[in-house]
Homo-oligomer: A and B are copies of this chain.
Amino acid sequence: MKRVTLIDVGKESGVSAITVSRALRNPERVSPELRERVYAAVKKLGYVPDSAASTLASRRSTVIGILVPSFSNHVFSDVLAGASDTIEGSKYSVQIANTGYSALKEEALVPRFLTMKPAGMIITGVDQTQATRDMLAGADCPVVQIMDVSDDPIDLIVGFSNFQAAVEAVEHMVEQGFRRIAFVGTRMDPRTQQRLRGYRQTLEKYGLFDERLLITTPKKSSVEIGRHLLGELLETAPDCDGAFCNNDDVAVGIALECQNRNMRCPDDFGLCGFNDLGTTSQMNPPITSVFTPRADIGAAAARYILDRNAGQQPPENRCVDLGSTLKVRASTLRNDRKERQ
């Protein structure tokens, strides 16, 4: 498998190598008939450009770097899928790393990405270390933070307000008559902390906040941990009448544990998940959850990078809030059951 170079293509089509390069990168700069000849030669010889050489010469690669905290969290798989679908068909490709929810690991990863002169970077959240922020700000490529909103993005931020999402959910639960609403939180990453703030502020507004209703763990979320945490919650606060969970897995676990304990939902216990990953809507009863536009966020972030690389100017507003949507379902509907679905 001998490597076919621009020179070979040039010989085949009777022009110089540099003209071939132009024909491929700026087709409008060469005459139409030459363009066709070059394309034919490329096809005939099976020429594929050497990305390393191209990167070295132009100081710009076609790699888009994506940093997510975890691969196994469905939320981020959806982000990746959205970004990947948007990039597909373009000349760009994605390189991915996970930070394991560690800002320091992230700080080590960023320079590794930057040395390959990426065409863009997508990074989760706003809680980078100052060093990471500085590196990214100094990087000569578009940088998109995702999954949150901020007044002070590095370049662009695409996401939704975790705080606001929590406020809406908890407001809804209060409105439906729940008074002893727990916060069940796993992992406790920065975005979960935002949700906790929204929860707390809302309950405080109604004078319903109680420290004993906070059940948190640094462990990753899962159905199993959800079951376990309900047990813990009921020991700490037996009079608890509902829970706002930072994740759907946990909510599903709690729902299953409710079944086990013969607690009826929503009559004995109201339940709200987060992210609306799909299973919640299928449970018996269906579980209320905050839908987050994960795939759209990934797609919008990728789109921005593509556009910037195509010469487009950044928008005036550097914070794209895609919002979240409270999906109200039976697990929190005590009043007006008729009107809602």
Contacts and interface: CB of A to CB of B under 8 A. Distances in A.
Contact of A281 (B72, B98, B224): B224
Interface residues of A, number: 48
B61 A84 contact: no
B282 A223 contact: yes
Contacts of A55: 52
A146 interface: no
A71 B50 contact: no
Contact of A51 (B78, B84, B115, B224): B115
A56 B5 CA distance: 13
Interface in A115-141: 115-117, 138
Interface in A202-241: 222-224, 227
Please state the number of chain copies in the assembly: 2
Interface stretch (A8-16, A18-26, A88-96): A88-96
Interface in A279-309: 279, 281-284
Contacts of A311: none
Given A93-B95, A97-B94, A138-B1, A52 B282 contact: no
A94 B95 CA distance: 6
A93 B97 contact: yes
A188 interface: no
A77 interface: yes
Given A48-B111, A227-B282, 5 more contacts: A71-B78, A96-B96, A224-B282, A249-B279, A256-B284
Interface in A75-108: 77-78, 80-81, 84, 93-98
Contacts of A78: 71-72
A1 B259 CA distance: 60
Interface in A184-216: none
A94 B224 CA distance: 31
